[in-house]
Structures are given as C-alpha cells and as structure tokens.
Structure 1
C-alpha cells in the first residue's frame, strides 16, 4: 500500500521540532516517570444479546492514542503495559495513533515495549492518521515483531468450541484507507462482531450495516479538556459527535477511549488518560 504523509510538510517539520525539544526538556527535568495515579482505569459493562454464554465476562482492555515520545515516555509506556496486564485481559485492543510526529529509532524502541502485553488471546490494533503520516509500514513491522495483530480492513475470529466472537478493524478513515466492504466480505455470517475504528464518528457508517454490536475508537483524546456538565468544547474531524465515553448509535454501542497520550499540547483538564476494561455479557 502507498505510504501516506502529512499534506502540510512545513507544519509537520515544526511539530517534529516541538516534539523533539519538549521531549528533551521533559527528560532533563525528570518529568518522565510513571505514576499509576496519572491514569484512570475505567470499567465498562457491555451487553451483547447475541453473545454465546461461553464468552460471558470476556475482558477486553482498550487503549488508544499512545502518541509515543510526547508525554508518554519510555518509563510511562512500560508502566502502562504493567497496568494493562494487571487487568487480566483476554484481549488487548489498540485503536491507533501509537506514534505522533516522530517515528525514529528511540520512538520505535518504545513501541517495542508493547510486546510485554500479556492477554490470554491476542493483542490487536488498527492504524490511525498519525501512524500513516509517520510511515505505517515500519510501524506495522514493529507491531508484528512485537506479536501484535494488525487488523488492516480484516477480521480476527475468537473461538470457544463452536461459539465465535469476531473482532474486525478498519484502517484510517481520516486518510481514506478504510474498506468496510472488504471487512464485511471477510466476516463470517454467524457470531457477534466488534469493530475497531480509530475515528469514532465512523460509528454512523458501521452501525448502519447492522452487523456490529460494538465499535471501539480513540482519535479524540476526549478533547483533552472536559468542562463538568458540558463535556468537551474541543471537537474536530471525525470526532464531532462521539468524542468520549459510551453512545448508542442505532442498535450498536460506540465507545470512545480518551487515549493515553497527548498531541501538541501536553496537558489535560478533567480528562485523564484512560485504560478501558470492557466486560462482555449476553
């Protein structure tokens, strides 16, 4: 597949310089240590009526928007991996933007820390717009070497005896790399399905198919700023409607994770980094 890059090279170079400078400042000042109190573990109960009882209490730990090398340092990502493993996941789902504006060797080394994830079944991921801007091929290579399954418009089927649960993924909607038709073509007719899509507003499209019980997304960072009683005032392309938390879209549930990292501005207000623990029930 053709490599995609930012359509504004000057802006990208400026942000790369900002990331490099801010990362250096972070490390010189010692602001890179992992503190579990910085992260919120959010339990979510998800009811899927079609789910076979053998999958009751199936546990999916969902993380997103790591943006390696910005606020997320080497120490922080290793701490996150440990915190995820403490949740005893059956499956780990990563919904894109694992890198930000740099994908040099130090950042790729941080990405390799994800090989420490220890779910019962698998760690699966989809790409986000930043992953493509920084070179999806090399990021996929590191993910593959780390034992992570990339769902590039594909389907991963979990089996328990005769029962099935399908986990599907679409590539970046922002960069028009998604192919939902291919996903549906590859999807077995029997068994409930969950879709990973980096961009949450894609839920309007996926819900309309009637094939998915749940979509998991990121992209928004929850807006990074949340005003109590109002929500986030910061909404952008593909996260205007579903910026954070749970929504019902037709007959499908949409869950938008607030992400782990930050982008450009390294702060959050009332919007802590999130590790979501979804327990499935029928």
Structure 2
C-alpha cells in the first residue's frame, strides 16, 4: 500500500472516529449526566404562607425497553437533598408496549417502586401519553407508593390559613382533557398549579381559561425530552414542523407560566445529546 493511500485511510478512520464521538457521548455521558435547574415562578397575589414554597419536578421516566433505574434513584436522592415542599411527576412513567400487556404492568410497578423513597410531604402526578396503554396499572403502582395521581381533578392545599390548588389534566394526545375539572374558578389569593404532559396543549388552554373564568398560574409539563438528540438549528425547526413549539424551559404565556422539563428517560434510542436529564426546583415568589 502506498503512503498516500495509507494516509488517506488513516485520515478517514480518524474522521469516522471523530464523527462517532457525539453518539458515544450521547449514549454514555449524555443520557446519565443529571442536571439540577432552579426556576423562580412569580405570582402577583401569592399568599404569605406560600412565598418560598418549592416544587421539585421530574418527568418522562420511560420504564420498559430502556429502564433508567440507577438514574432515577440518583434523581430522587438529589430531589430529597433539595428538601422540596412538593414533588410533581408529569407523566410517561412507562414506554408503551403494544405487544406485551404484562410488560406494561411490570414497567409501571418497577418505575413507581422508586417513588417510595421520595421524602417530600406532598407528592402528585399526571398521566403521559405512553401511560394510557395501561392507565390502571400506572395509577395503582403510583398509589401503592404514596403518589396521588390527578386526572381532570384538583385538590386544595392549605397552609397557615392560606390556600393554593394543585390540578392534573388528562393527556391531550390520547385522553380527553377537561379544564373545568382540573382547574378551579378564578379566586383571588388562591393560586393554581396544573400538572400535565403535553406542552403544546397550553395554547388551547389559554383560550378556554379566559372563556370559562378558570385560573392557572403555573403549568408543569414534559413530553419533549428537550429534543433528546438536540442538534442546533435542526431539532427546534423539526419540532416546530411537528407542531411542538416548546422544547424546554420556562415560557410566559397569556395568563400563566409554563415550564417544560426535559425528563429523565429516553424513547426509541437510549441517547441524549445536548438535552441532559433534569430535576427542576421551582420556587414560588410574589411578584
């Protein structure tokens, strides 16, 4: 083999290795590099008793094909260290398996069993679209581990004579959301936090909230995985083409704030690139 050909092959091998590095990182470091993000949420009439109230959000666990038991255990340890007043779990506890109903049940319990270790006094959840293949199994597994699942329902939380509401909306991709059951009527000094899964539903919700005189101050969602394999200039445009405007982070919408969590698990391929798994700590502020 002449030197030029040998050099060409060496350069080609080097280029191939360099090109594969992002995928290797996405499989190893990217999908397990847990990040903790802090977000202040401002509510004008937040009662005194809830100023500084903290909510830890976790989402998109996707137990089934690609379990992330070690990552979830670590995320719960991180969550407990933050000492939140409430933990919110915003759906997709399993990855739907259309060929094996028993596998869905097993995945639901395997995921939910981790939640027994959560130390926060308040623990709530909403369904994701994947959970709707086995909603009873997911609900039973969560309940057995101290998690209250809210589907088109709301509860009031009292502290020091003050009240706020926590609601959960049915998944908008598979199920039937009913805002009038998940959100209470507008009432001064009684903020409302809504758990859901699909962030794009927020667009529809803005109109129905105003028409029905309902209240929502904070909508917590997930679903997008932050793009999961997030390629600059490509992923965001592709997501927008599919109708998904909100990939990750906080968004000020008409009448309320939405936060989109990147989640912990993965779908299709066990890869995360520029979209690390996330625990979010949200702090309620008056303003």
Query: Which category of TM-score, normalised to the shorter sequence, fits these structures?
Result: 0.7 to 0.9
Q: 1: distance between equivalents of 2:174 and 2:94?
A: 16
Q: CA deviation at 1:63?
A: 0.7
- Helix, strand or coil for the counterpart of 2:140? helix
Partners of 2:198 and 2:146 in 1: CA distance: 24
For these two proteins, the number of residue pairs brought into alignment is 248
Q: How large is the RMSD of aligned CA atoms in angstroms?
A: 2.6
2:112 aligned with 1:108: no
Shift of 1:111: 2.1
Partners in 1 of 2:151 and 2:131 — Cα distance?
Answer: 13
Partner of 1:65: 60
* Stretch of structure 1 that moved more, 230-239 or 96-105: 230-239
Residue 127 of structure 2 contacts residue 170 of structure 2 at CA under 8 Å; is this kept in 1?
yes
Moved more, 242-251 or 36-45: 36-45
5+ residue gaps, structure 2: 1-26, 97-102
Q: Is the 8 A contact 1:199 1:239 kept in 2?
A: no
Query: Could you give the per-residue CA deviations for residues 10-48 of structure 1, whole angstroms, max 9, x where no partner exists?
Result: xxxxxxxxxxxxxxxxxxxxxx99999711101001111
Aligned partners of 2:138, 2:264: CA distance in 1, in Å? 18
Q: How does 1:102-141 map to 2 (within 5 A)?
A: 102-105=103-106, 108-119=109-120, 121-133=121-133, 135-141=134-140
Q: If the length of structure 1 is used for normalisation, what is the TM-score?
A: 0.80
Which has the bigger relative contact order, CA under 8 A and spacing at least 6?
2
Distance 1:126 1:163 in 2: 24
SS at match of 2:131: helix
State the TM-score, normalizing by the size of structure 2.
0.79
User: Which consecutive unaligned segments of at least 5 residues does structure 1 have?
Assistant: 1-31
Greater Rg by CA:
2
Q: Flag the structure with higher helix content.
A: 2
Q: CA deviation at 1:147?
A: 0.7
Distance across 1 between alignment mates of 2:185 and 2:169: 12
Report the CA distance shift for 1:250/1:149 in structure 2 as closer, same or farther (over 3 A).
Answer: same
SS at match of 1:205: helix
